[in-house]
Amino acid sequence: MGRMSGIVGHTLYALLGLRAAEARNLPVAALCQRHLASYLAGAYLGCDIQAMPEAICVETGEEVGFGTVPVEKSPYTGGPVRPFHLVVHGADFSPRQIHELFYGRSHLVLGWRKEDRPSAIPWDRLPAYFADVVRDGLDSYGPGERPLAYVFGWMVHVVSDALIKGVRSGLNLRLLDGQYTPRNRPIQDLVSFHEVGRKELGLNWPALLTDLAQTPVEPIQPHYMRVGIPDGALGREFGDGWAPEKAWLLEPVLLENHRFLRRYVPAVLAEMELHQTPAGPDCNENLRKTTGLSYPEMVELTQKADFRHSLWQIGAAVADMFTAVVQGEPRLFGLRADRSPSWDELARRWRKTSRGATAG
């Protein structure tokens, strides 16, 4: 199906950030664990609103590619493709146009087109911005916890994208031809998936990504993207840069992201597959061509580049942000701790019937 989308990387960053948050005893870690699929969905779709097909295969009608990444020919037939458009109330939008309208709004610190750049949020204002969103999550989108888990996932994406795309310094990965490039992304994905995720962390990728893709759209997302009428704590403290006129379009975009992802996850899992060769396991031809390396060579390269150290840095940076946000919204400390009586405790209270007989 062609180009990777970053779902593997962002899912891994979210899981590492969660472990780091657990190690610091941040109460929000248990919340994210309770709503893991929504937390992971936030870490991906919470930002990447261009998750939709790029084109349609003319002969088969199949959707191909990933939004904004050019597709020249159909991977199914080798034949022609036509551009994909999202049609909303009779108006057509290309993935590129969607990207221009919304990408900066979700990524906050990066990805704004020039004329919207005054709406970008400086890095040092992020904890305050996030804390306001959390406050609104508690006051206007609660008492359910799922929106909060999604919001913390979204924070992971904002932080990790800023690091990996070099907007924020602190990461010093040099892999093949840079830190984050079209050629080295498949290497990061494959090694994250197999060596780090599957073998070292014991992740069940098909289960994690499938559950992620089945989560619903969270209504708090347009709010934290400042699409709508300014309101809540965020509207009060960050009153500029709101775009009520885009609300009619964002909702169908978010629905499209979720629809697309349910189809896309199986394709990602297929693309990550390794097959046995006499020289050991190898990835598909397409990824070999993109990177110019065999899978064993990729593994070696990531070892030399100290890729795991970079992952550690990302996990720690995520937990740093979580800490700053929790300090900004003290109610996060009061989140339900598991003080419920255990089964043994309940048995002590309840085993004996009031009639005096003891059940087995």
Contact residues: Zn ion, CB under 5 A: 47-48, 161
Kindly state the smallest distance separating residue 13's Cβ from Zn ion, in Å: 11
Give whichever of 54 and 161 is closer to Zn ion, judged by the CB atom: 161
For the record, the structure tokens of 220 come out as 């708090």
Catalogue the long-range contacts made by 57-60 (C-beta closer than 8 Å, 24 or more residues apart).
Answer: 57/81, 58/82
Place of tokens 């005893």: 25
Give whichever of 31 and 265 is closer to Zn ion, judged by the CB atom: 265
* Strand partners for 280: 277
Give whichever of 1 and 47 is closer to Zn ion, judged by the CB atom: 47
- Asked if 147 contacts 223 with a C-beta cutoff of 8 angstroms, the reply is no
The SS3 assignment for 302 reads helix
Kindly state the smallest distance separating residue 72's Cβ from Zn ion, in Å: 24
Give whichever of 154 and 193 is closer to Zn ion, judged by the CB atom: 154
What whole-number distance in Å separates Cα of residue 12 and Cα of residue 43?
Answer: 9
Give whichever of 150 and 295 is closer to Zn ion, judged by the CB atom: 150
In 3D space, the residue among 96, 110, 108, 99 whose CA is nearest the CA of residue 166 turns out to be 110
Kindly state the smallest distance separating residue 330's Cβ from Zn ion, in Å: 30
The SS3 assignment for 234 reads helix
Kindly state the smallest distance separating residue 245's Cβ from Zn ion, in Å: 24
Those residues whose C-beta lies under 8 Å from the C-beta of residue 262, and which sit 6 or more positions away, are: 213, 214
Kindly state the smallest distance separating residue 282's Cβ from Zn ion, in Å: 29
CA distances (Å), 229 to each of 147, 193, 223, 225, 234, in order?
19, 40, 8, 11, 11
Kindly state the smallest distance separating residue 64's Cβ from Zn ion, in Å: 21
Kindly state the smallest distance separating residue 44's Cβ from Zn ion, in Å: 8
The 10 Å Cβ neighbour count of residue 195 is 18
Kindly state the smallest distance separating residue 38's Cβ from Zn ion, in Å: 18
For the record, the structure tokens of 299 come out as 């593994």
Give whichever of 68 and 140 is closer to Zn ion, judged by the CB atom: 68
What whole-number distance in Å separates Cα of residue 65 and Cα of residue 260?
Answer: 11
Give whichever of 268 and 293 is closer to Zn ion, judged by the CB atom: 268
What whole-number distance in Å separates Cα of residue 163 and Cα of residue 158?
Answer: 9
In our burial notation (b when 16+ CB lie closer than 10 A, e otherwise), range 55-92 reads bbbeeeebbbbbbbeebeebeeeeeebeebbbebeeee
Distance of CA 360 to the CA centre of its chain: 48
Kindly state the smallest distance separating residue 164's Cβ from Zn ion, in Å: 9
CA angle in degrees (0–180, nearest 5) for 205-209-215: 150
Give whichever of 106 and 313 is closer to Zn ion, judged by the CB atom: 106
Give whichever of 110 and 247 is closer to Zn ion, judged by the CB atom: 110
* Strand partners for 276: 281
Place of tokens 């992802």: 261
Give whichever of 159 and 190 is closer to Zn ion, judged by the CB atom: 159
Kindly state the smallest distance separating residue 49's Cβ from Zn ion, in Å: 9
